[in-house]
Structure 1
């Protein structure tokens, strides 16, 4: 019997090699999804105890606020109304107090206006790669200076990054022009710094989330949506987000919101939204620990 030709042997080796490679080559893994649990919480200034002694003091209220955050266990929280404030000779550092209660890392600018709206995040999950703020206007208590604070976070698990911006708009029926201007400034700043990242915006907007609200229309113009509208899985959607230190009541006024958006290809999905209602040891002196509920939502992207 004749030996196989050189060409035949070469073809056999090539076929065998291709078969081995086909078996040995691992399947390409799909990109990992990054999960982010985002919350927004107006905790109310400690000054409240000065103007309304019937409300428990900040030292008591912050315990309930900390328990809410620790129970909900979000990854990042935009806080509103947490100033460093002097009351009868004692300086309260509200952001620091919340950080100690929760163990979260905090970004809080030194600017007196920007101190009001710090951002807390879980440093075990994320590295902060950037931060900053923009002051919209300077005003005294009770309106304060209105600002936007922001951080860029990178997931330690997936390496993917995202932007979180936090803000607080002017309150009052006569402040619509201010809110319109703040909404435009907010959207412009988010557009400027987002850098193609997924974006989450937390805030007390002092305007219910209608399609014509300044935050809704301005953020929609840059591709962001109210996370409430991005999922059907909701807890307490029938409650107002402002409770006035009373038990939450039914109503459509949602002045505290979280918005989300991402560039094409990032595939951002929202799976859950909740208007957190305090219970158990989160209740302080028979009251809610703040005059606002915490808003909590869960999203993933890749």
Structure 2
């Protein structure tokens, strides 16, 4: 007789527990976003050549599996090799100047987890819509490749902007102009859609460029609940980095973790920059 009375109570407890368990199971994973200067394939010394380090790069990307990553110094043959060896990833981007062999600000994404809603490019110049345009005294074209992404699992959207600013010490005023142009564009985006900016900024966090960006954006490394790896990111194919010039900047995201990925693979570093990665968390959706 007791079992007959206990059974309804047990079923009621199970029913109450199911929604909580279901909600926990559906809790979305953080977005793993990476910035990676892959180093253009011009080096001829052993372990610096693209052919010597490309498999190390693939291994690192497979291990970390960012849902999206912005690259700098990417050439078409490098992009083709990466997508060939990273199943499920796609990429897009335009050459920064005339000819398809020019560098790209290529963006790669896991097509099982994200879809591209819209994308585009603009140049860091007085004529941003003119492909390959150069002003401000830059030696070569500088540009941004961007996209509005939608997460397949829950439909949440975010913007990603990816760039590479000029490298010379005397280019700091030009980097500031680039930062102003990018943040002016970001200011026109919908405020309820989070933004992430990836790049090799060729400036450190003490610079006017960083100050310009962080007027309206936040440094993911500083927001992160947990930080792994060295602060400095450029190491010139060594294991001794010297400057912090690769950043991830955000607006509207929380940051669970930030990592500078300094792994080597059989003594080979994948690039002359360490990639940086942030695990980003969407804000809670407002209750209706």
TM interval, shorter chain, is 0.7 to 0.9
The answer as to 2:220 corresponding to 1:227 is: yes
Q: Residue 162 of structure 2 corresponds to which residue in structure 1?
A: 166
Q: Residue 83 of structure 2 corresponds to which residue in structure 1?
A: 99
Q: Residue 207 of structure 1 corresponds to which residue in structure 2?
A: 203
Counterpart CA distance in 2 for 1:269 and 1:200 is: 11
Counterpart CA distance in 2 for 1:221 and 1:54 is: 43
The answer as to 2:272 corresponding to 1:277 is: no
Counterpart CA distance in 2 for 1:193 and 1:145 is: 24
CA contact 2:113–2:153 (8 Å) conserved in 1: yes
1:23-44 per-position Cα deviation (integer Å, ceiling 9, x unaligned): 9xx99x7996562111000011
Q: Which has the larger radius of gyration?
A: 1
Q: Residue 89 of structure 1 corresponds to which residue in structure 2?
A: none
CA contact 1:61–1:289 (8 Å) conserved in 2: yes
SS at match of 2:182: helix
Counterpart CA distance in 2 for 1:63 and 1:32 is: 34
1:181-209 per-position Cα deviation (integer Å, ceiling 9, x unaligned): 11111111222345631000000000012
1:74-130 per-position Cα deviation (integer Å, ceiling 9, x unaligned): 11100000124xxxxxxxx22222222223110122554785210001110011101
SS at match of 2:30: strand
Q: Residue 149 of structure 1 corresponds to which residue in structure 2?
A: 145
CA contact 2:96–2:141 (8 Å) conserved in 1: no
Distance 1:176 1:242, change over 3 A: same
Q: Residue 42 of structure 1 corresponds to which residue in structure 2?
A: 37
CA contact 1:151–1:164 (8 Å) conserved in 2: yes
2:106 to 102, 110, 118: 118
Distance 1:124 1:205, change over 3 A: same
Distance 1:144 1:55, change over 3 A: farther
SS at match of 1:116: coil
CA contact 1:48–1:55 (8 Å) conserved in 2: no
TM-score by length of 2: 0.78
Q: Residue 13 of structure 1 corresponds to which residue in structure 2?
A: none
Where structure 2 has 5 or more consecutive residues not aligned to the other structure, the ranges are 1-15, 126-132
CA contact 2:34–2:66 (8 Å) conserved in 1: yes
The alignment of Structure 1 onto Structure 2 pairs a total of residues equal to 249
CA contact 1:246–1:291 (8 Å) conserved in 2: yes
The answer as to 2:45 corresponding to 1:61 is: no
CA contact 2:122–2:145 (8 Å) conserved in 1: yes
